[in-house]
Every structure is written in C-alpha cells, then in structure tokens.
Chains A and B, each alone.
Chain A
Amino acid sequence: MTFDVIRFRENFPALTASTVYLDTAATALKPAAMISATDDYYGKNTANAYRSLHQPAQQATQKIEQTRQLIAQLINASDADQIIWTKGTTESINLVAQTYAKMHLKPGDEIIVSELEHHSNLVPWLILAEQTGAKIIKWPLNQACQLDKQTFQQLLTAKTRVVAMTQMSNVTGYQPHLAEIVRLTHQHEAIIVVDGAQGIVHAPIDVTTLGIDFYAFSAHKLYGPTGLGILYVKPSHLTQMPVWQGGGKMLKTVSFEGFEPQPLPAKLEAGTPNIAAILGFHATLNWLKEWDRSAAEQHALALAQLAEDKLIQFRGFQSYRDPDSPILSFNLDQIHHSDIAILLAEQHIAIRTGELCAQPLIKKLACTGVIRAAFAPYNTQQDVEQFIEAMAYAIDILS
C-alpha cells in the first residue's frame, strides 16, 4: 500500500488553504468519520450507556465495548478488559500512581523518571513521592540527548519500584529502546509505566510482547476526540488494582455498611464515561485501518527532514530533532521563540513554542523554550514551503 496524501487530506474538514497546521504533536486534526460519529450520537442517538434498555442506549453500550476491543487490537493487549477509560494520558498516569503504585511503595523506595518526560509523567510521581516517602531518581540524558543503558543499570537498585518512561519525546521525537528498558526494569522486579501520548501516533506498540505494566495514551493525539484517555493494565496487575474513585457503575452492591466493587475495568470507571468521545474514537480507529500507517509516517518524516534542510539557511539555526522524528523542535540564535510564535500565528501557521510541558528537558537543552513544528501525514510539501516563507518573513520583521 502506498500513501496518497491528497486522498488522506480529504478526510480532514479543518484543513484549509489559508492555514498550515504544524501543531499535531499538541493535538491531531479530526477526520470526518470521527466528527460524524460524534454528531450522530448527540444529534440522533443520545443515550446513557450500561443502564437503559432502549435501542440507542444498547447501541452505545455495544460500541463502547467494541471500542475497547479495537484498542486492544491496536496495542496488542490480550483482552479488552485490560483497557480502562480515563480523561487522558495525564489522568491515566495519575491513576496508576494513586492506586497500584501507592499501594506498593514505602519510604525510601525509588521511582526512576527519565529526563525526557513530559510533566504528565513526572509530576504524578513527585506527588506520590511526597505522599509515600519514596525518592525520585532522575535518569539523565547523555550528550546526544538520548538515554543510555549503562546509566540506567547504575540507577537500578533493590529499592527501584517504578520506572516512568516515555515512548517518544514530545520535544525531540527521540524514542527510547523500550524493549531493553522493560527487560532491565523487570530484572529488578520493578514496574514500568509508559507514556504513549506521542508514541502511539508514530509507531506500533505491542504491550504484550514488550511486557509493559501500564501504558497510557490519549485519543486526541491519534485523530480522536478530546477528553478521552486510555490506560492499559497488564493482566497480572488487574486483580491488584484498588478502587480509585467511587460512584455509579463501579460497584456490585452498596449499603451504609460498605460496598462491593465490580471487577476491572468497571471498578476504575466510576460515573458516566465520555460516551460521545468513545463513539467518535470507535469511528476513528475503524477509519485508521484504511491507511498504511507506516507509509503515512514516512511521509511525515520526509517533510520534517525537508523543513530541517531548509531551516539551515537561517543564521543561528539549532535543531533538537532526533533523527527519524517528524517532530522538529529548534531555535534561532538571538531570536526569542515567543516572537516567532506571534509572527507565525499572524501568518496562519500553527506551531507551538515554549517549554512544551517538559521543563527538565528544556533545561537540559540549555534554552528557555523551543519552536516546534510537528509534521503529520496530512501535511504537504506546500506546507513546508509556506512555513519556511513565514519564518523568513518573521525573521525579517524582527531584524
């Protein structure tokens, strides 16, 4: 299968000739299939799931469970019951920290967090360390801004309980060698929590073969709706997950003496789920099957490379892009990233600048923030040209 960018673009009503969208790492644009499924739910088939017997309610319930199946297939989980709905990656990681991890941590235990992490995979662990007396251990990046095995082996101790690791940096696009990291983590009888927010979009993940303990991602980064997150839980941890939030749908019986929770996943899904988002994601995942994702990724990569090759012409250009990354973060010497952000926004070029919710990594890169152009399969060579022209114009205004 080859990748037809023109046909792919036709699926995205938000794409217009006047705007260049290079902010996909923040959130992906949405395909018509997703929008129409969400519209249909709100416009024609509104109903709550799991409760009522009228047809729209039954349909919603079935589709929610089908979506779990689709996600299990996507990440190669062995059973749909390992898939838990949350609000997003952030909530998924907080959930792990406040349930399974909290239960197993005692004062002096260690949580290894890489220097690459987005705040979503650092702050929940800092909070947990405060609550439990555990210690946060930084896994520093090497000179090439990558993680090396030797350093990791030195950091792993008998006290290591948790390793928090990204599948792909939202700043540099670097993808750590997960298989090796999981193997070493398990050798020390620790668990690994993987933030897949960026990674899920760019590379297939096989949670079963890798043996990942917990895997978190958000629907909105993968062309899906906002407000929907996924937490995958390794089968051996399923029975050990304590309750998190109390409410409807998560229990079998309740009285003033106590309650008996449902088994997972319902146990961790108190209240009405984000039905519209799940139905929208159902449509998104089915739509995604029509495309060769590897070819789509190669297309985005080529555009990032092309943009980088063209940006070199600007004085003081410094790239932070990891090879093989469609995410291009960079800076220009003597020009503040926020000035570029303003002047590109004026020219309808959507990019992101600043610390990108990864302050420790930005500090490591020895800058105050970066300019990030994130290329996606729906971008074109024309987008690259417009972006470079807009950059040249912004630099001219600032001179």
Chain B
Amino acid sequence: MPNLNMTLPELFDLFAQQQNWQARYRQLIHLAKLLPAFPQADKIARYHIAGCENNVWLKTERVADHTFQFSGDSDSRIVKGLLAILITLAQGKTAAEIVNMPFKQQFQQLKISEGLSESRLLGLDKLIVYLIDSVNYSL
C-alpha cells in the first residue's frame, strides 16, 4: 500500500509492481486519499494554481532548517494523486535539492504519465513549475 512517507525507490517499486493502467490509477487515487486534509481557509488565490481544468491548491512553507513543507488539494482525484506524488518527492528537501530535482523524469519512471492525456501532462507541468517557483519565491 502506498503512503506519503515513502522513499523514492519505494514509490518506484510500488508503481512498477502494477500490471496495468487500472491498477496505477487505483494507487494514484489511494495516494490522493492519504494527503492530509487541506484547510478550507487555505483555499485562497495565493495558493491556487491558475489555468488548470480543475481547482488545484499548493501551499509552500519554509521551515527553520531551510527545508520546505508542502500541502495541497484538488477537486480532481487524479490530479490530487499526482500532487501527492509531487509532495512526496519534494517534502523536507532544501531549495537547492528541489530546484535540481528531475521531477518530469521521475514521473516518467513511475509510468503514471504514460496513459495521461497531453493536456493532463500539461497540467502536471504546471504543478511542477508552480512548486519550483513557490520555493524560489520563498527564499
């Protein structure tokens, strides 16, 4: 079963074990359910990612040890699952680590994006760009 404290290799293993697209989506939906509840008070323009087909929120917080904590939500369960993976990849990392992280390649290795439409991939691109920008903005 997936969890949000998985290491990258564990995440790869989990998705590599899935035999077909149905199973990968089920894992994605399950990951979405594991994202901690995003407070209604945080669903504001400041954390809203514009231009997606659905509402997506991502909040970035800089911690005392110079690492970053992320939280988020989406009204699409699939996008929320993608967001959960993105948060898993970036959680607790420093700005330098996040900026240099090959997010897109990692998603490709997870083989999640194989079946997602072009526009959905563009949505994923937006999430990645927004996350990196929000980290840079916090410095």
Contacts and interface: CB of A to CB of B under 8 A. Distances in A.
A338 B76 CA distance: 7
Interface string A351-386: 000100000000000001100000000000000000
Interface in B1-56: 21-22, 25-26, 29, 53-55
Contact of B77 (A345, A369, A398): A398
Nearest to A354: B53
B53 A338 contact: yes
Contacts of B75: 336, 368
Interface string B120-137: 100000000000000000
A339 B78 contact: yes
A397 B25 contact: yes
Contact of B29 (A346, A369, A398): A398
Interface string B73-96: 001111100000000000000000
A338 B54 contact: yes
Contacts of B29: 397-398
B130 to A, nearest CB: 18
Interface residues of A, number: 15
Contacts of A335: 77
B47 to A, nearest CB: 18
Contact of B115 (A339, A346, A369, A393): A346
Contacts of A393: 22
A205 to B, nearest CB: 34
A339 B76 contact: yes
A338 B119 CA distance: 11
Interface residues of B, number: 17
A343 B26 CA distance: 11
A204 to B, nearest CB: 36
Contacts of A336: 54, 75-77
B83 to A, nearest CB: 13
A201 to B, nearest CB: 26
A338 B115 contact: no
B116 interface: yes
A48 B117 CA distance: 39
A210 interface: no
Contacts of B54: 336, 338, 368
A265 B117 CA distance: 42
26 contacts: A335-B77, A336-B54, A336-B76, A336-B77, A338-B53, A338-B78, A339-B76, A339-B77, A339-B78, A341-B117, A342-B78, A342-B116, A342-B117, A345-B117, A346-B21, A346-B22, A346-B115, A354-B53, A368-B55, A368-B75, A393-B22, A397-B25, A397-B26, A397-B29, A398-B29, A398-B77
Interface of B: 21-22, 25-26, 29, 53-55, 75-79, 115-117, 120
Given A338-B79, A368-B54, A397-B29, 15 more contacts: A335-B77, A336-B77, A338-B53, A342-B116, A342-B117, A345-B117, A346-B21, A346-B115, A368-B55, A368-B75, A393-B22, A397-B25, A397-B26, A398-B29, A398-B77
